[in-house]
Amino acid sequence: MDGLMSSMDGMGSSMGMFTAGNKAVALGYWYAVAGVTGVLVAGRLITSAQSHVRRACFQRDDSKLPSRPESGVARTYATMITTLRELGYSQPVWFSGRITKYFTLPPLGQCLLLAAYWTMLLIMLWSNVILSPSSSQYAYKWEKVGFRAAWVSVTQIPFIYLLSCKFNPISLLTGVSYVRLNWLHRWSARTVFLTIIVHWAYFFREWVLSDLVKWEFQLMPMVKYGFGAWAVIGWMTLTGLGLFRALNHELFVAQHICAAAALLWLLYVHVPAYAQYNVWLSVAFVAFDWIARIVLGVLRNTHILSWRTVKVPGYSATAEALPGNMTRLTIAHADFTWKAGQHVHLSMPTLRPFEVHPFTIASIPVPASSNSANALELMIRAHSGFTRSLHNAAKKDALTGRERRVFINGPWGMPPDLRHFETVVLIACASGASYVAPMLQRLVTHTGCVTKLHVHWIIRSAQHLTWFEASLRDAVQKAQLRKMHLQITIHVTQTDDDGSISSCGLQGSIGDISVVDSEASSLSPAGNEKQIMSAREEILAVDPNTALRVCHASRPTVESMVRPPVEAALGETAVVTCGGLAITAQTRNFVAALSDERAVHKGTGAQGIFMHNETYGY
């Protein structure tokens, strides 16, 4: 017992002995986070200023190409951005299998950022902690590493909770949506799980050498709480894998919140008082997020700040069942605005009262000066759970004319502004058009630098054309009025049940719409791509500015959709893709390879290629 007490006394003294250096390491971690955030803020400001200057220049003289850098500084900056894009866009390792897709590695840019993060942590963890036998602190060689690993671990906890928040300072400052930060939230949590192993392994080694393992667990409750915290992090890391999240997302969210609360309590009773500020900082981030979301949700659904005279809580929505297991949910009179590409969190108490689900807004807001109703549309694909229940309810509502009361939180997300590019390529697979269609609407509605628009929508059945028929009609009409070069190609990869080829009633009312029967193949693009291009040339000869082409063929290649407009572009091009992992990964790799092949901004005259991807799933 005396040996145990002396060991515990020694632990207390060594804890104080190492505190100053460990606190400095913890402070350095937050300096690094602040530094990276500052770089992202600077990049956001430059991009915003660049967009404003380009659009102002184009408004003064629409014959100019403001997206083409002219000055030496602008060309140098463009070259630097292009190099970063080529490094960051590619995704060398990806899988598309039903199970294997959940083990796809992040894109190369995220991997490089993660490698830099790990390098920083390794430096923090091992700098000045390995003692030589001649050191006066050699007796504490195990504890010194253990305490350093403890500080490295607990310092990351507030950062992990910060990244889990929808309403967080990093997103507000940098313009990077919480959705696009979530990957770092998961990987930093996995990293903490490993650094905690270093923390307890070194202490455990000392206890084994001193034969104190039993006594430590009996007389030191903090030890048990520490292992409990590590077990909770392990559980959260395991269940946070995409495979488990997809099994039952509602259950995942519920247990994840409970586990996060339990983790904070276990850490609070485990760490010493002078390190508990990490727990309170985590609580502050989460509290700020939840309070802000609750306040915004109450204001949104009680219409306190609205022009409405009748303040009925929530919104009245109409559900319409469409072919292909699609449901259109329409809020006819939305009393708020949003940006193309944003999403809302939707709750429908009459259907499933305790569930909240995110859905992309498939429409754009109507200007306040307009006399039209500000309708908000959500296109919801029926799978299982809530979406299947909603689709079934929509079929019944069509017979009864029932409207449903919904509650909305949002809008959320920070989609890119594409108005300062010269050429824009929009690619969507099936319901991914919910993201692309409002982007298209914004570009043909609002003033910008875009002169050429190429839209590709890949669907299985011609019946799916009805999902966005009205949006396509409106986009073509507006493009014709503005004399914008707009080409919409709808790729129907399967014939109807009767084997017929049809454009589903689209022809004749919105300009030149052609139905083409092509035998293109995504597996052998060399010969079949010529068929696609010849068909496109035939259609464009009818109307050089606007055309909508329905192409019955197999799935097109990314190259056939991206290369022609990029090579014809005179200024910077934006490529936006929304779909499954396969199409987004292929687009990433092709854009990176094409940029390198054309030596963009490296003296060849080839202009930059910006890319933005949205992938299905959580």
In the prediction, which pLDDT does 194 show? 97
| Residue 403 lies inside a defined structural domain of this protein | yes
Closest alpha carbon to 454 in 492, 428, 488: 488
Give the Cα separation of 55 and 449 in Å (integer): 6
Q: By percentage, how much of the chain surpasses pLDDT 90?
A: 65
- Same-domain pairing of 213 and 348: no
Boundaries of domain holding 320: 315-412
157 vs 57, 280, 578, CA distance in Å? 46, 10, 32
Cβ proximity of 435 and 613 under 8 Å:
no
Lowest pLDDT segment from 147-161, 187-201, 544-558, 566-580: 544-558
- Same-domain pairing of 261 and 346: no
Give 258-289 pLDDT, tens digit per residue. 999 999 999 999 999 999 999 999 999 999 99
In the prediction, which pLDDT does 141 show? 86
DSSP-assigned letter for residue 101: G
Whether pLDDT at 16 is above 80: no
The amino acid occupying position 181 is L
In the prediction, which pLDDT does 70 show? 85
Boundary residue ending a domain (412, 446, 468): 412
In the prediction, which pLDDT does 287 show? 97
Give the Cα separation of 485 and 503 in Å (integer): 22
What average pLDDT is seen over the chain? 87
In the prediction, which pLDDT does 3 show? 41
Q: What 3-state DSSP class applies to 46?
A: helix
| Residue 349 lies inside a defined structural domain of this protein | yes
In the prediction, which pLDDT does 17 show? 59
Looking at per-residue confidence, does 13 or 178 come out higher? 178
Boundary residue ending a domain (295, 328, 346): 295
Whether pLDDT at 617 is above 70: no
Give 104-143 pLDDT, tens digit per residue. 999 999 999 999 999 999 999 999 888 888 777 777 789 8
Cβ proximity of 145 and 129 under 8 Å:
yes
- Same-domain pairing of 356 and 449: no
CB neighbour class for 111 (10 Å; exposed up to 12, middle 13-18, buried from 19): middle
In the prediction, which pLDDT does 529 show? 42
Whether pLDDT at 518 is above 60: no
Whether pLDDT at 470 is above 90: no
Give the Cα separation of 200 and 223 in Å (integer): 9
Whether pLDDT at 510 is above 50: no
Lowest pLDDT segment from 145-154, 417-426, 501-510: 501-510
| Residue 12 lies inside a defined structural domain of this protein | no
Domain count across the chain: 3
Whether pLDDT at 618 is above 70: no
Specify the CATH number for the domain of residue 324: 2.40.30.10
Looking at per-residue confidence, does 103 or 219 come out higher? 103
- Same-domain pairing of 369 and 477: no
- Same-domain pairing of 288 and 402: no
| Residue 98 lies inside a defined structural domain of this protein | no
Mean pLDDT of 339-367: 93
Boundary residue ending a domain (295, 323, 353): 295
Whether pLDDT at 346 is above 80: yes
- Same-domain pairing of 332 and 407: yes
| Residue 520 lies inside a defined structural domain of this protein | no
Residue 323 is encoded by which pair of tokens?
């072919």
- Same-domain pairing of 401 and 427: no
- Same-domain pairing of 342 and 425: no
In the prediction, which pLDDT does 497 show? 55
Looking at per-residue confidence, does 20 or 445 come out higher? 445
In the prediction, which pLDDT does 552 show? 82
| Residue 103 lies inside a defined structural domain of this protein | no
Place 305 in a pLDDT band, splitting at 50, 70 and 90: confident
Residue pointed to by tokens 């003294």: 13
Cβ proximity of 206 and 143 under 8 Å:
yes
In the prediction, which pLDDT does 543 show? 52
| Residue 468 lies inside a defined structural domain of this protein | yes
In the prediction, which pLDDT does 558 show? 96
- Same-domain pairing of 350 and 422: no
- Same-domain pairing of 471 and 566: yes
Specify the CATH number for the domain of residue 48: 3.40.50.80
- Same-domain pairing of 489 and 606: yes
- Same-domain pairing of 137 and 66: no
Mean pLDDT of 289-306: 92
| Residue 437 lies inside a defined structural domain of this protein | yes
Judged by phi (left if over 0) then psi (alpha if -120 to 50, else beta), residue 599 lies in left
In the prediction, which pLDDT does 563 show? 96
